[in-house]
Amino acid sequence: MFIDIPSELEAALIGLPLPTWKLDGSFLATSTMERYRTELTATPRFEETLTTLRHALTGEGGGYAVLRLGNLAKALGADDDRFLRLVTAFATEVAVPFSPFPRWSLWKDIGVKVDKDPGKSSGIGYNAFHMDLVNGTLPPDYTTLLCVRPDALGGGPSILSDAHAAAARLSEDSRALLAESAYHYGTFFDLFGVGGEYKPFPVLDGSTAGKGFVRFTAKMLERSELSRAHADAARELAAELIRGQVSFMLQPGDYLIVNQRRFLHGREALRGGQETLPVADRRLLLQLFLRARAGDGSAVGRRHR
């Protein structure tokens, strides 16, 4: 699931004249996506790389990919606008980039805050398996993370797990409980492009095996009122997710793309001593969400609004 960029493609991408993106509401404008595609398809070995990426995300047994863009990050600067436009261009070949948060234009910073809830994405503790925007009727089809800086102290590996494979290992009784609309988590306000609030929601939506969302976040076990039976079923799923997890450390320029209809994600705890690091030296990721295009199988034919 790690995809290296061919040297010929890297060389061509460094000087690619990609314009600043424009938004149509909360979504990347069609004119920007068309311009990006025109530029990318003219580069050598791009289509070959794109085929590999799409297969990793939606092919048999797939569900996530890491584009190794470290050389491009070094050449352009990991926090330079040119590099971010290039990564955005790659994202448009997977699905439509959008921002559900009005305070962010497209990409969202995920830094490290030592005084934050340790289990949050910007905290320093273990960030348990979850699906982003789990309580929206239309969650993002893909969540993506661009590594600008890893943890300077060596912690914080990313963790991923095949949600449908984990659910398939559960007992029939547990799956039946998880298919009931008995779960809820978090607040829901001032969001774009993710439908309405889904509360309560089922963890397993009853769609064709391997295609629907597994609406799970481990945080709901601590922060939601659940019956003992429903909580036990969710804990059983959490244990199976951990049993089947893969973990790896993102390096500068690595771009992780997760198909939320197949995989859940999280992060191991950062190393102790984060308070000794200057903010500018702490781990920094940038997050971008993607909506599958109408007609794409992973979108189940739903159009974005």
Confidence category of residue 111, pLDDT binned at 50, 70, 90: very high
Beta bridge partners of 290: 97, 142
Confidence category of residue 209, pLDDT binned at 50, 70, 90: low
pTM (2 d.p.): 0.95
| Residue % of the chain over a pLDDT of 70 | 95
Confidence category of residue 294, pLDDT binned at 50, 70, 90: confident
Between residues 103 and 232, which one has the greater pLDDT?
Answer: 232
Measure CA of the first residue to CA of the last residue in the chain; give whole Å: 31
- Residue 101 has which token pair? 């948060």
State which fold the 2-293 domain adopts.
Double-stranded beta-helix (3.60.130)
Question: How does pLDDT run across 117-158, given as a tens digit for each residue?
Answer: 999 999 999 999 999 999 999 999 999 999 999 999 999 999
Q: How many residues are recorded in the chain? A: 305
